[in-house]
Structure 1
Amino acid sequence: MPHIIVEYQQELAGDSEIDALLMNIHRSISESGLFKADQIKTRAYPFRSFTNAGGNSPYIHIQARIKSGRDAENKKRLGEVVLSGLTALHIPASVITVEIIDMDRDSYGKYLPK
């Protein structure tokens, strides 16, 4: 926990840039102390078709899915940590947004195959 899901316009960046973005997010969250490095899961999904406020400027949307129970201040801090770590990457997106989503703790399941 958390699950970080990055959605981005596929022409915005190549695989190496997206790998760097994911590693940067992972490192920023780990260094924040909010979650341990081995708890953070990051992945990215490119999209081809989109509009952005009626236009075609590429954007990135990041979801941080966490188990319910964190207070508003920790959620806000997580969002800030995710975004602040991306400034050094100089991504040519028109906007980068982050959304913190609570996953219901009681219905969340996990299986660790052996």
Structure 2
Amino acid sequence: MPHFVIDCSKNILAHQSPQVIIQKVYDTADASGLFAPGEIKVRINAFEHYIVGGTQKDFIHVFGNIMEGRTVDQKKKLSDSIIRELKAMFPEVPIVSINIRDFEKATYSNRDLV
């Protein structure tokens, strides 16, 4: 944990390979120092069918899901650093965004915890 899920328009993958995009988000999250080595998970979903603001403009949105306990400032810095890297990688993409959500420790579970 954490999980970063990248949703994007399919056209994004014509500009950069999925692995390069995934690695950039991984490296940026890792560089934040907020997570233990090997914990970060990143995946990508490319959409052919979508509407964004009434159009089919290209987009990238990252859903960051992290364990509670980080400050708002830490989460803001993480968000900003990922967006900076994606904007540099995709300067022509008009919609690049992220949100960070906290997992509650009390309700989180996985196969090793059960």
Q: TM-score range by the shorter chain?
A: 0.7 to 0.9
TM (norm. structure 1) is 0.86
Q: CA deviation at 1:15?
A: 9.3
5+ residue gaps, structure 1, are none
TM (norm. structure 2) is 0.86
Matched residue pairs, number? 112
Aligned to 1:72: 72
**Partners of 1:38 and 1:91 in 2: CA distance:** 30
5+ residue gaps, structure 2, are none
Percent of paired sites with the same residue: 22
**Superposed counterparts of 1:70-109, under 5 Å:** 70-90=70-90, 92-109=92-109
Is contact 2:87-2:96 (8 Å) kept?
A: no
Over 3 Å counting, the alpha-carbon distance change for 1:37 and 1:24 in structure 2 is farther
Is contact 2:64-2:100 (8 Å) kept?
A: yes
Q: Deviations over 1:63-102 (max 9, x none)?
A: 1101122221111111112112223323642211000011
Give every structure 1 segment of 4 or more consecutive aligned residues whose post-TM-superposition deviation is greater than 4 Å.
none
